[in-house]
Chains A and B, each alone.
Chain A
Amino acid sequence: MDYNTLLQVLDSTVRLATPLLLACLAGLFSERSGVIDIGLEGKMLIAAFFSAAIAAMTGSVWLGLGAGIVSAVLLSLVHGLASITFRGNQLISGVAINFLAAGLTVLIAQDWFGQGGRTPSLIGGGRWGNITLPFADTLSGVPVIGPLYAQLISGHSLLVYVGFLMVPLTWWVLFRTRFGLRLRAVGESPEAVDTAGVSVVGLRYAAVAICGLLCGIAGSYLATGLQAGFVKDMTAGRGYIALAALIFAKWRPWHALGACLLFGLLQAVALRYQNIDLGGITIPVQVMDALPYILTVVILAGFVGKAIPPRAGGEPYVKER
């Protein structure tokens, strides 16, 4: 494999890792506050649809992003209502949200556009353009570093940079602010937070809303950045891969970046090569598809470092009387 091919694979790794990363950080906020969220998939999907639909109607990718975020936040508030206010089963609520999004997107798409559950292809201002970072063109002649800068680091859409900047931001919010400390505390021991006079319900709703916001950006990127329009079930299990990455990263932001890049790389390789020939042994493409899940199971099994989730995860908080 020559340098150029490597750069292309890494470039597509970055693109494919972005929605995983945003969704993974979304799950990080929610689960750190003690609300387990297997509905990342659904929230990404509904955001993908509404951002593509509004972008197609108005021709503005920004309005599309706004619509995607609003729809994902609304869906996450349904999850909050079920799992925080009514103390229902968070896993079941997540399953319901995934189905709700899968059904509603196609239903509304068919009603609005009549194209069998997809939106029209986005053109011009309806899609995120690629940003060329300063000096990318001038530097591209420099050997090794030039193409690296021009192809890999420069030339992505805005949301890719947003996604990567979210990692330090998430770290800072969670580990350097009062809000972050309280958020982590409410996921470990809500009764302590409650005793300190801080609202458990308020904190958890805030975390769930942030989760919706980030899923909204992730879905929006899928439909208006990575691809040009919405197609049925376009998230294709990415929400679950993000969930896997979250466990793989043991609920830590910087590790989440690593996990998402790894899983993004697997996707990029699977996309580029159908079967990989390793000196006589052929690895079928399905192994690449299954690898994120297999790795996560191995991590969960605790054979390679134990993944310990936030202690109050999945437990609705009942105030003592």
Chain B
Amino acid sequence: MDRMPAWADAVLVPLISLLLAALLSALVILGIGENPIEALKLMVEGALLRSAGWGYTLYYATNFIFTGLAVSVAFHAKLFNIGGEGQAMIGGLGVALVCLYLPWPHWSLALVAASVAAALFGAVWAFIPAYLQAKRGSHIVITTIMFNFIAAALLNYLLVNVMKPEGQQDPATAIFPAATHLPTFQDMFATEAMPLFRGSPGNVTFFLAIAACLVVWALIWRTRLGYEIRALGHSESAARYAGISPVRTIVIAMLISGALAGLMGVNTAMGEAERLVMNATEGAGFIGIAVALMGRNHPIGVFLAAILFGFLYQGGAELALWTNIPRELIVVIQALVILFTGALDNMVRMPLERVFAARRRAARKTPAE
């Protein structure tokens, strides 16, 4: 077999893909008449050199960790869950219901309940596509895309016609009660002498996201269920032969995936806006695809990729603020990352495999002579 060593597969291929994406992005920036080095400097300054910048970076990263994990759990079962966006929207709905209509004495209790509700709502939204895929063979990519739009319409209806308080203009719920407000990094780490993370939305949900990484790692590589999910992803016929029920495994994998995407609602609704707004997800469900691809479906990779995208998001906002480069630059970078690490993977992999095969042949020859 002309395979590459594991380190090349896990590190070298994504790194080269990332470099290609970065190179093309730099060309795009040059193309619109701006200086890519200056742009990068501004992004680093705005996102990483100030604690408030980190507060934003980690806030965005929290969203992307959840959606990235969601996509990767589904990928392990060879399912492409493109519906993270809708699942996160509905997850946010669960958070809003818990925060608005139940009395909470303390944020920690509210956080637990809201997380359960977000995961539950997200999982429910993933259930129908999962069931249809497992039982009736309806393509899950198409059904989850459709469910994104249905979720948007449902949320639009609920916010405009049902949950909007009397006399308010914008489609959003009332502000959640103060007892449910989550502590931000500023509340947790800033002191009189050290005013850290001032005004940034990063909050305690970040630690929930880290916990989710650990749980997903344990689930996928240390439990029987995880084994079944991976087995199904590698070969359905082999899994079936080993007595694994594809229907059950597909549905469970998608429920976990939907629950993870739903959990993102905790961060946006409870952690940042402190109410449920339209478009709270801001495409994070789709960025989860880029994050999962770049992170090679491993929680550590997902975590690092999410931080990178968090940096890109915050840096992109800084660029839009100080230069003539619109925020959409980040969308282009995201597209290039998805293209190179996902769709054009073989373009990087094939020549690399050839290089490694040639080296191995050479290495085998030398001692013989």
* Interchain CA distance A289-B149 in the complex, whole Å: 8
Mark out the residues of chain A between 70 and 92 whose CB falls within 8 Å of any chain B CB in the assembled complex: 78, 81-83, 86-92
Shortest CB–CB separation between residue A205 and chain B, in angstroms? Answer: 16
Give chain A residues whose Cβ lies under 8 Å from the Cβ of B32. Answer: 107-108, 110-111
| CB < 8 Å neighbour of A107 from B150, B293, B329 | B329
Stretch of A16-24, A212-220, A240-248 with 4 or more beta carbons under 8 angstroms from chain B: A240-248
12 other A-B residue contacts (CB within 8 Å) besides A88-B344, A98-B335, A302-B138: A89-B343, A91-B141, A93-B339, A96-B336, A96-B343, A99-B331, A104-B328, A240-B146, A286-B156, A294-B150, A296-B146, A301-B132
Would A96 and B338 count as touching, CB distance under 8 A? yes
Give chain B residues whose Cβ lies under 8 Å from the Cβ of A86. Answer: 343-347, 350
Shortest CB–CB separation between residue A221 and chain B, in angstroms? Answer: 22
* Interchain CA distance A243-B148 in the complex, whole Å: 14
Give chain A residues whose Cβ lies under 8 Å from the Cβ of B339. Answer: 78, 82, 93, 96-97, 100
Instruction: Please judge, given known A-B contacts A95-B286, A300-B139, whether A290 and B329 are in contact too, CB under 8 Å.
Output: no
For the complex, is B127 an interface residue (Cβ under 8 Å from A)?
no
Give the interface centre of A89, A289, A290, A294 by most chain B CB atoms within 10 Å.
A290
Instruction: Please judge, given known A-B contacts A95-B286, A99-B286, A244-B146, whether A117 and B342 are in contact too, CB under 8 Å.
Output: no
Give chain B residues whose Cβ lies under 8 Å from the Cβ of A110. Answer: 32, 324, 326, 328
Number of interface residues of A (CB under 8 A): 47
Give chain B residues whose Cβ lies under 8 Å from the Cβ of A290. Answer: 149-150, 153-154
Give chain A residues whose Cβ lies under 8 Å from the Cβ of B330. Answer: 103
* Interchain CA distance A255-B345 in the complex, whole Å: 37
Instruction: Please judge, given known A-B contacts A290-B150, A296-B146, whether A38 and B141 are in contact too, CB under 8 Å.
Output: yes
Query: What is the predominant secondary structure among interface residues of chain B facing chain A?
Result: helix
For the complex, is B365 an interface residue (Cβ under 8 Å from A)?
no
Mark out the residues of chain B between 78 and 119 whose CB falls within 8 Å of any chain A CB in the assembled complex: 80, 82
Would A296 and B142 count as touching, CB distance under 8 A? yes
For the complex, is A309 an interface residue (Cβ under 8 Å from B)?
yes
Inter-chain contact total with CB atoms closer than 8 Å: 155
Give chain B residues whose Cβ lies under 8 Å from the Cβ of A62. Answer: none
* Interchain CA distance A296-B146 in the complex, whole Å: 8
* Interchain CA distance A243-B157 in the complex, whole Å: 24
Q: Residue-by-residue, is A288-311 near B (CB-CB < 8 Å gives 1, otherwise 0)?
A: 011001101100111000000100
* Interchain CA distance A102-B332 in the complex, whole Å: 8
For residue B347, which residue of chain A has the nearest CB? A86
| CB < 8 Å neighbour of B335 from A83, A96, A108 | A96
Give chain B residues whose Cβ lies under 8 Å from the Cβ of A89. Answer: 80, 342-343, 345
For the complex, is A168 an interface residue (Cβ under 8 Å from B)?
no
Mark out the residues of chain A between 275 and 295 whose CB falls within 8 Å of any chain B CB in the assembled complex: 284, 286-287, 289-290, 293-294
* Interchain CA distance A103-B153 in the complex, whole Å: 24
Would B328 and A88 count as touching, CB distance under 8 A? no
Would B324 and A293 count as touching, CB distance under 8 A? no
| CB < 8 Å neighbour of B146 from A78, A92, A286, A297 | A297
Would A301 and B328 count as touching, CB distance under 8 A? no
For the complex, is A14 an interface residue (Cβ under 8 Å from B)?
no
For the complex, is A125 an interface residue (Cβ under 8 Å from B)?
no
Give chain A residues whose Cβ lies under 8 Å from the Cβ of B161. Answer: 284
For residue A109, which residue of chain B has the nearest CB? B326
Shortest CB–CB separation between residue A318 and chain B, in angstroms? Answer: 11
For residue B141, which residue of chain A has the nearest CB? A91
For the complex, is A234 an interface residue (Cβ under 8 Å from B)?
no
Would A87 and B145 count as touching, CB distance under 8 A? no
Give chain B residues whose Cβ lies under 8 Å from the Cβ of A240. Answer: 145-146, 149
Would A107 and B80 count as touching, CB distance under 8 A? no
* Interchain CA distance A196-B138 in the complex, whole Å: 32
Give chain A residues whose Cβ lies under 8 Å from the Cβ of B157. Answer: 284, 286-287
Q: Residue-by-residue, is B210-249 near A (CB-CB < 8 Å gives 1, otherwise 0)?
A: 0000000000000000000000000000000000000000
For residue A299, which residue of chain B has the nearest CB? B138
For the complex, is A259 an interface residue (Cβ under 8 Å from B)?
no
Give chain B residues whose Cβ lies under 8 Å from the Cβ of A294. Answer: 146, 150
Would A97 and B335 count as touching, CB distance under 8 A? yes
For the complex, is B28 an interface residue (Cβ under 8 Å from A)?
yes
Would B338 and A99 count as touching, CB distance under 8 A? yes
